Amino acid sequence: MREIDRQTHTALGISEYELMFEAGKAAFHELVSQWPEARHLLVLCGTGNNGGDGWVLARLAHDAGYDCRVALFGDPSRIAGTALEAHDAWRDNTAATYADAVTLSAGELEAESCDI
pLDDT tens for the chain, 116 residues long, are 667 666 676 777 778 899 999 999 999 999 999 999 999 999 989 999 889 999 999 999 999 999 888 888 888 889 999 999 999 999 888 766 666 666 665 566 677 788 88
The SS3 call for residue 40 is strand
Q: Which residues contact 57 (CB under 8 A, 6 or more apart)?
A: 24, 25, 27, 28, 31, 43
The angle at the Cα of 83, spanning 93 to 55, to the nearest 5 degrees, equals 45
Q: Domain locations in the chain? A: 2-113
The angle at the Cα of 81, spanning 64 to 53, to the nearest 5 degrees, equals 30
2-113 in CATH: which number? 3.40.50.10260
> Of 102, 99, 78, which is closest to residue 111 (Cα–Cα)?
99
Look up the pTM and report it: 0.84
- 46/74 Cα distance (integer angstroms): 6
pLDDT at 13: 78
